[in-house]
Structure 1
């Protein structure tokens, strides 16, 4: 029994750490660009991807990735066409979630645990799931590292980026692709409703103590990793749902960060 416990807990820890190293650096750009609701809309669309993948007997990862990309590109193409961005994101986010839940209800002969996809089921991660999670996480990390300077310039000063020969829209598409991969990777770990929290909260917790963008990404990754390990331990110790417990831990770390920053004389922003 102990060996079995150690086995699935190790897999859960590795899955969570894979999510942390992908989501935290990407979350910094989400915070800097004020696109938290964009991430939420993409995450909500994941449920529709799950339903379609099960309908056509396809890969869950592939289905979620395809629908997340479709949602992200739809939002990008509709931006600035007569509707405020927050209104458009609100419509698309909740519509995609509702259509996904309705589509899942029509699945006959297929057993689907919606709670696992909504809130995650990290303790049920298999070895093959680990391969997908780490493959996606390393792909996102490599993409962010490769495009770091370009993404940063396009985020902080689009006009300067354009004058330097960079296309801010192209860099935005790179960010969109990375965000869709993270959503597809994270749905097994924390679920569609909690993915955005793992993108935003570690970056927000790191911001007061970061003098450079690079430092913020590193600190955010450390916060996310600590939250995963602390959440797993707390969920096992107190018999609570694992995904939400991980988010509770990262929220507590954010509260500590804000309190400590306030006590030390205010928040510091990363130097640009």
Structure 2
């Protein structure tokens, strides 16, 4: 299956629900939460902010944004009605709103927000420039654009040469991202779109709690089988090996991420 997030609203509802569970697994991972907290801490937070998260999924990051005392209102938008319904069910913040909509054609007036956030979104979409142009349209002058995404080409779970589990990650690089090189292209892309003061930070996720990365490998094994690259029996063996490494304390994963902050206008 090619990247399901690229056209998520048309994906089978059962698959959408499973992907929603994966988003919440990642959000619950304490190491990932620490990385998210670290990149959010580097932003400017004036009082009374109105924030938009584009591609909010089940709302995990939207909920974190809502916890900031400086934030007056947070809006999360996603094309998946199933994701949005789940986000609404998990939300407990009165100043949060979730909307079904497309990041390429945001249903908001110009200069409506002080900050626009893309959290692991732009690597999944074709023509990310269109999403960034829309972000600029709805940002107020001096508003912050915030991007957090993975460097898919550097992801690894290998613990030895020719490690068979790496194939599970490699297929996710190509099938779970429209552009696995995106983070390496973003600085030039943002400058060309008239964003200023582009700042970048790198983060390494090494999976102290293996639950998120194990889920990633298990989904990769399914992708290998679905693509006919391995048999169902071989996919089951890959999953069994990954689970055994977790039990033995031998599981390793390195998922590099980058955050970007830029100013509009």
Normalised by the size of structure 1, how large is the TM-score? 0.25
Structure with higher strand content: 2
Higher normalized contact order (CA 8 Å, seq sep 6+, divided by chain length): 1
